[in-house]
Chains A and B, each alone.
Chain A
Amino acid sequence: MTEKIMEGSIAVAHAVARCSPDVVAAFPITPSTHIPQELSRIQPEYGFEFVPVEAEFSAISAVFGASAAGGRAFTATSSQGLLLMHEVLFAASGTRLPMVMVVANRAISAPLSIWNDWQDSISQRDAGWIQLYCKNSQETVDATIQAFKITEEARIPVMVCFDGFYLTHEISPIDVPEKKEIDAYAPKGKRDSLDVGDPKSFGCYATPAYYQDMKKEQDDALFASAGIIEKHAGKFAEKFGRPQFAFIEEYKNDKDAAIISMGSLAEEAELVADEGLAGVVRVKCFRPFPRDALKKALQGKKRVVILEKDVSFGLGGALATEVKSLLFEAGLAPEVTSIICGLGGKDVSVKNIKEALQEKGSAWM
């Protein structure tokens, strides 16, 4: 393991290149842009096909095509770019094609904002992708490498999310494993693909006699991917000597109160935990939603405070909604506070998080 001081996006780009993709297709959008830029710069060294397409809709479509042809394919985007891909996300998961996308989380227009929140990827939560939210750049690098293994085994696309600017542009010591180590961890397998020697049809349409069964199969596969996610986190930790959190991370979670959050915001909440005010339960895997792990982590809690940078308009925070449904299912009844914060880059300080612990019901801060 050799740590180098580098920018989060640059580290992710190198991790992707060392995963030996066949095709990378992307379109620039802040704050994800440094990832494809760096990939284009190092492309001659690695030799993958780099396609600087004319729109994100085409980036994810080219990734779809590359995957259907049997290739390992990658893209990265943010915000409007991810929303532009929306229709293709469903086609990709429904066609059960493996692919990896890194999302540098950013707010959604209007009003236009280039700054961080999670509205972009949370809005894609029902697209049938695995969604991982990382707390720092090292975890993003590690999750991206695991994502290629997960997607190829589960045949479900994987979205690895990390916070725009806070992480994409943060410079910190990061270890990006060497290509030959990754080759050993994530070798490419064979799968059904477009092949002139074995003509098959992909993407056929379904009548009511088949459609729902196919969707059920897809949903079952997304639930079952939990086992695959866990397995590859374990193998990764073993091979690279870095502990991995497959679904959730508990930090000093031995108090009556727990803060539940995701991404770098959860890492910030650890500072509040350090003062002994509450434990932190960080949701890393948002889809499939880690019901079992969370039920265990929330046993006996008197109070749960959910902090999130997204909103389902007319309802509340998306994470809070999931947590409340899970608490009900588990027969747990802590006092629940739902806080929507940090939208469009609004600062969330340690002081704010402490104030959140005093709130009742739901609030914006």
Chain B
Amino acid sequence: MTELFLKGHRACAGCGSVLALRYVLEALGKDVIVVNATGCMEIISSQYPESNWGVPYVHCLFENTASVATGVSRALKHLDKEGTVVVIGGDGASYDIGFGAVSGAMERNEDILYVCYDNEAYANTGLQRSGATPFGSATTTTPSEMGGKGEWKKNLTFIAAAHAVPYAAAASVAFLPDLQAKLKKAKQKKGFRLVNVHAPCTVGWKINPVKAVEVARKAVECGLWNLFEIDDGKFKLSRPVGEAPVAEYLKMQGRFKHLTPKQVETIEEHARSVKPELEKLEKANVNFQRFL
């Protein structure tokens, strides 16, 4: 493996997002320019005067990465310079605070490959709730005393598809060949491309650091994170929607420890209802780019 994300970073043991990053860069190769949002991946990799980035890298702020990437991409075009512009942003940066900028860049179909690493919380600031935190999860702002988060997770990949972008895909660090295939496909395309990667945070999810990949795999196997792509508007499942009981996934993680049987049942019902819907969507051969 040619490592473009270099050793010596400051991430926690077993960090799912770093795993994602290493494989993202390996799949994309050297001719990329990374624009990184404030968050864990920035803080663990870019402490002056050191850097773990083997490719050109720029960090500006938390909530403007899609717009900074817009400027980089437009300047490269006008200056006739090489490079695929790749955003690395967390779920907080992408689903929440920077969402307006992400939506604007999608609508303008800026030539950007946007990689969101979704660790389902604002990890860097101490694991607060985000729009990507799943129902029931305890975070430091939806504590177990409150019963965890009361709302469902946003679906950023479908939101991207609703902008009729050329490519939007959901991937996972537990399925690295699938993640890399999606990135390689996205790299060949022009315009706004999103690859949304489910990446466990061992500290936030309260899991054994050696279990990050196992937990990520279980999320897919029980249908709570589904692998698919929406390529030129066409939805396609990357693997059959998982049917394992959600309890198997929930009980692996301290963030769900407080859940009542009723809450587990609610999540189970939710997961079971997803499969037929996604299958209908695939069979119907709906073109997302024709909704507008």
Contacts and interface: CB of A to CB of B under 8 A. Distances in A.
A25 interface: yes
| Residue with the greatest number of chain A CB neighbours at <10 A, chosen from B33, B66, B82, B103 | B33
Contacts of B50: 204
A65 B69 contact: yes
Contacts, number: 173
B46 A205 contact: yes
B165 interface: no
A54 B56 contact: no
A196 B82 contact: yes
B251 interface: no
B46 A201 contact: yes
A210 interface: yes
Interface in A11-70: 22-23, 25, 47-49, 51-55, 57-59, 61-70
A358 interface: no
B140 interface: no
Interface in B54-111: 54-61, 63-64, 66-79, 81-83, 100-101, 103-104, 107-108
Contact of A62 (B56, B63, B71, B83): B71
| Residue with the greatest number of chain B CB neighbours at <10 A, chosen from A68, A69, A95, A202 | A69
Contact of B70 (A62, A196, A197, A202): A62
A334 to B, nearest CB: 44
B72 A194 contact: yes
Contacts of B31: 196
Contacts of B58: 65, 68, 194, 201-203
A88 interface: yes
Contacts of A196: 30-33, 55-56, 81-83
Given A22-B78, A202-B59, 4 more contacts: A62-B71, A194-B56, A196-B55, A199-B53
A184 interface: no
A66 B101 CA distance: 16
28 contacts: A22-B79, A23-B71, A23-B75, A23-B78, A47-B78, A49-B77, A51-B108, A53-B67, A54-B103, A55-B100, A55-B104, A62-B68, A62-B74, A65-B35, A65-B72, A68-B71, A69-B75, A71-B71, A73-B75, A87-B61, A194-B33, A194-B57, A195-B81, A196-B81, A199-B53, A201-B53, A203-B59, A204-B50
B57 A199 contact: yes
B244 to A, nearest CB: 41
Nearest to B76: A69
B67 A65 contact: yes
Contact of B71 (A25, A48, A57, A87): A25
B128 interface: no
A195 B34 CA distance: 11
A71 B42 CA distance: 24
B61 A210 contact: no
Contacts of B55: 196, 199
A200 interface: yes
- The number of chain A residues touching the other chain, given as a range, is 35 or more
A22 B78 CA distance: 6
Contacts of B67: 53, 57-59, 61-62, 65
B101 A58 contact: yes
Contacts of A54: 100-101, 103-104, 107
A53 B48 contact: no
Nearest to A58: B67
Interface in B39-54: 42-43, 46-51, 53-54
Contacts of B49: 204, 210
Contacts of B48: 204-207, 210, 214
A71 B46 contact: no
A51 to B, nearest CB: 6
B71 A73 contact: yes
A348 interface: no
